[in-house]
Structure 1
Amino acid sequence: MTVPGPFATFVSPAERAAAGRRARRRVPRSAHAGFEAGPDRFDPVEVVQRQSATRVPELVPIRYGRMLESPFRFYRGAAAVMAADLGATTDTGLRVQLCGDAHPLNFRLLASPERHLVFDINDFDETLAGPFEWDVKRLAAGFVIAGRANGFSAAEQHSAVEACVRAYRRRMREFAGMRTLDIWYAQDDADRLRELMAASLSKEARRRTEKATASARTRTGLQAYAKLTRATAEGRRITPNPPLITPLRDLVTDASPHGQGQELRAVLEGYARTLSSERRHLLRHYRLVDIARKVVGVGSVGTRCWIVLLLGRDDDDPLLLQAKEAQESVLAAHGVGDRWDNQGRRVVAGQRLIQTTSDILLGWTHAVGLDGQERDFYVRQLRDWKGIARPETMDPGLLRLFAQLCGASLARAHARSGDPIAIAAYLGGGDRFDRALTVFAQAYADQNERDHQALGEAARSGRVHATTE
């Protein structure tokens, strides 16, 4: 019987595993080892400059300043550079929904809609369908770069990468044997984290990690509200801190060609229409009070990002939203993924596909910006139980555990969106892929340091202008 609609054509587990093994013949696992830039490699500074050309001009120097602080900060802002390097390689053809920027700081503790604390991917600005190994390589190299920043030995860096990739491979093999719905429901909650800590960490490391977990529960919208707003004669308003936080009233006037922020109100109205009916009903309980432009992250500096203050019953009933400009994924230029007519929708669709605990107020829209240009946005709550990892404070053992958590979490995301049987068959039961990526991660960390130096030389020569905060 042929069933019409969106259902899959049956392919047996044996056939899916055979597809994974065939991919080995096309791209042997050992082929992932190492990275060597050829003489015709692109100019990394030019790649970063091309991105900056579409961003708020007065904020671009802040982006460069942040990227110059360290090789790790550069890496966080240089997803486009690594995408260009990965795009030049022969890939496995085993597609998943990629995070697209799977560096270590894009994994953290988050609140589920049921108010449970879980560990998951957090950033999806670059999400797009592509070969699974691109995410794994970006994550692996990130741990070498973080380990170098901490002064760890090559052996300690190697240990973190090995733990990351091994956890990815082993968990993917677990998913290959699971029912489809069980894969979809899988998550890394606080209980799983405690089990790993008990087995892997010293008493002091467990104490620090438990403290970080407790701290994540305090990073709520109410905490952000207290930090980011103040009482004024007009009522509660967002506190200015230019250029990092600039209220809309300081950016536009009544003489503005688009009026006093009407275009951003259109952003919110369009966004509300992308929510399910019950969540639109929830949003109607709030009134719009204030809007401000906010500088966020490293890689996102210069994109148009707004924080939106809404109030419900009274001043003690706030809701803070973040409306962030969504540009085309850095992966899109390299022959992977589908084309999207709205980049905000791309981000939201990718997040819902690979994250187990998406924000209940996550949505997207399209609107005209302050400069008269049409732009895509996605919207989510600002800071909802987010526990941010700080690799610079970790000892080698804690970094190794964090790498293990990230690798396992990435495997879960990829198993939801790709074929875990084929990927597991490609990876195999041995450690050949793990060893190859430890070599790659060291080589790419070397390249990242050279690219960081190139940006520094560009700043010193005046080719780019960097601002120190």
Structure 2
Amino acid sequence: MTAPSAATVSWSPADRAAHGRNARARAPRSGHGDFGTAPDRPDVIDVLARQSATRLPELVPIRYGRMLESPFRFYRGAAAVMAADLGPLPRTGLDVQLCGDAHLLNFRLLASPERRLVFDINDFDETFPGPFEWDVKRLAASLVIAGRANGFPVGRQDEAVLRCVRAYRERMREFARMRTLDVWYAQDDADRLRRLLASALDKEGRRRTARATARARTRTHMRAFAKLTTLTPQGRRITADPPLIMPLRDLEAGAPAEQEDRYLQSLLEQYARTLPSERRHLLRHYRLVDVARKVVGVGSVGTRCWILLLLGRDDDDPLLLQAKEAQKSVLAPYTDGERYDNQGNRVVAGQRLMQTTSDIFLGWTHVIGLDGLGRDFYVRQLLDWKGIARPETMDPALLDLFGQVCGASLARAHARSGDPVAIAAYLGGGDRFDRALPHFAQAYADRNERDFAALGEAARTGRVEAADL
């Protein structure tokens, strides 16, 4: 039997379940607790340097500086390092569309097109098909790393992982019993999460949850517009904040104005072709007035990321888009998933597979820059109702609950693209898989701390340059 796919949808539920149970021979559930560094493991600084070689050299020191702030910040920037560690491990062969960077800060509140708050995965730069357990392991390790940063005892760290993985397993078993369309339509809206958290939190915890939800509703494009732009004699323009925000007019001061204008229009026009016709119609109501390069996140620092300011009726009718460079997924060398000619298309396709509702302006493009080189981008709205977790403020109980919510949400994302019947059968009704993951997460957190120290040593000896920004 081969893995269930579009070509094998005629399999009965019993055959699919048998396929899942048979995967235990390839990758025993208890074996997922094992992690040891491979003898031929690549040098961590070399892995990071290979990524940096394709990035803007003047921004690479900012990337290293952010990664050196803490082991958790290092972990956020080291998805390529973990991909190289996961690749050689025994795998189930039960493939899904992976997030590829499923740490706990990549789960957050987002706005649906219907203007409702939903909880979902947010970052898909590394999305790629692969074995479901890779995302689960990256999420599990992030809980231990966050727990260590907060000084939680090992037992509480392990409990957070155990509850997270149990939530994943139990939610997947629910999806295995559901009709296909019901799986596809399932979502985690803010009201459902609030009820779940309220049942387990004390009064202060409920107050903090309500405040976080309200705060997410204020993080609109209008707030970003007020923060990021200024009214100038030439009209509304993006405010420079070098080196983190650099308007294109400053970056390309030597380029002829008409060449710059052609570049901007090319970017927008090619992106618009990837939108459905009604979204293209909506986009035509706006005109592009300014573009700036922005430094974002940790792992993405050094890739090209543009803010596009468009205006509609007047200067108080903005649309802020973010065009982010899409490079090859760090998972690609270790899987046999579909290859895309355009990496922006890969990101958008993966996001649409995993998210219940995606940004109405989500699309992709390929642009020939003023330097003559072509690059892939994906485009979405900038800062639209995003509520971001703050693990450093969580006590053990809240970290437990947040981990459970993330685990359940990840199961929903995986069930959309994978086979929930086979995955649920592999996981089973017992807790053998659950109990293995804390061992993996602790071992990987140890590895992460050693890699963090190695980057610190490389910065001290001059092997890499790190900047505080």
Do both proteins adopt the same fold according to a TM-score greater than 0.5, normalized to the shorter chain? yes
- The whole-number CA distance in structure 1 between the counterparts of 2:258 and 2:231 is 28
- The whole-number CA distance in structure 2 between the counterparts of 1:261 and 1:295 is 22
- The whole-number CA distance in structure 1 between the counterparts of 2:10 and 2:93 is 20
Question: 1:104 is matched with which residue?
Answer: 104
Instruction: Give the stretch that moved more between structures: 33-42 or 176-185.
Output: 33-42
CA contact (8 A) 1:128 1:332 kept: yes
Q: Number of residues paired by the alignment?
A: 464
Q: 1:263 to 1:132 in 2, by over 3 A?
A: same
- For 2:319, the aligned partner's letter is L
- Alignment of 1:132 onto 2:132: yes
| SS of residue paired to 1:151 | coil
Q: Give the deviation of 1:34 after TM superposition.
A: 2.7
| SS of residue paired to 1:387 | coil
- The whole-number CA distance in structure 1 between the counterparts of 2:60 and 2:258 is 24
CA contact (8 A) 2:66 2:74 kept: yes
| SS of residue paired to 1:385 | coil
CA contact (8 A) 1:252 1:261 kept: no
Across the aligned residues of Structure 1 and Structure 2, the Cα RMSD in angstroms comes to: 1.2
Q: Give the deviation of 1:265 after TM superposition.
A: 2.5
Question: 2:174 is matched with which residue?
Answer: 174
Question: 2:240 is matched with which residue?
Answer: 240
Question: 1:220 is matched with which residue?
Answer: 220
- For 2:416, the aligned partner's letter is R
The 5 A counterparts of 1:449-460 are: 449-460=449-460
The 5 A counterparts of 1:303-342 are: 303-342=303-342
Question: 1:12 is matched with which residue?
Answer: 12
CA contact (8 A) 2:60 2:302 kept: yes
| SS of residue paired to 1:375 | strand
Q: 1:257 to 1:60 in 2, by over 3 A?
A: farther
Q: Give the deviation of 1:337 after TM superposition.
A: 1.3
Q: Give the deviation of 1:25 after TM superposition.
A: 1.3
Question: 1:116 is matched with which residue?
Answer: 116
Question: 2:162 is matched with which residue?
Answer: 162
Question: 1:72 is matched with which residue?
Answer: 72
Q: Give the deviation of 1:258 after TM superposition.
A: 8.8
| SS of residue paired to 2:41 | coil
- For 2:250, the aligned partner's letter is D
- Alignment of 1:413 onto 2:396: no
Q: Give the deviation of 1:263 after TM superposition.
A: 2.2
- The whole-number CA distance in structure 2 between the counterparts of 1:226 and 1:281 is 26
CA contact (8 A) 2:173 2:420 kept: yes
Q: Give the deviation of 1:370 after TM superposition.
A: 3.4
Q: Give the deviation of 1:46 after TM superposition.
A: 0.6
The 5 A counterparts of 1:38-437 are: 38-255=38-255, 259-437=259-437
Structure 1, unaligned runs of 5 or more: 1-5
Structure 2, unaligned runs of 5 or more: 1-5
CA contact (8 A) 2:194 2:209 kept: no
- The whole-number CA distance in structure 2 between the counterparts of 1:323 and 1:417 is 26
- For 2:46, the aligned partner's letter is E
| SS of residue paired to 2:80 | helix
- The whole-number CA distance in structure 1 between the counterparts of 2:302 and 2:364 is 19
Question: 2:3 is matched with which residue?
Answer: none
CA contact (8 A) 2:260 2:370 kept: no
1:314-373 CA deviation, whole Å, 9 max, x = no partner?
A: 111100000000000000011331111000000000000110010010000111123321
Question: 1:3 is matched with which residue?
Answer: none
Q: Give the deviation of 1:235 after TM superposition.
A: 0.9
TM-score, normalisation: structure 2: 0.97
CA contact (8 A) 1:165 1:437 kept: yes
- The whole-number CA distance in structure 2 between the counterparts of 1:26 and 1:366 is 40
CA contact (8 A) 2:353 2:417 kept: yes
TM-score, normalisation: structure 1: 0.97
Q: 1:258 to 1:156 in 2, by over 3 A?
A: farther
Instruction: Give the stretch that moved more between structures: 255-264 or 455-464.
Output: 255-264
- For 2:89, the aligned partner's letter is T
Q: Give the deviation of 1:42 after TM superposition.
A: 1.2
| SS of residue paired to 1:58 | coil
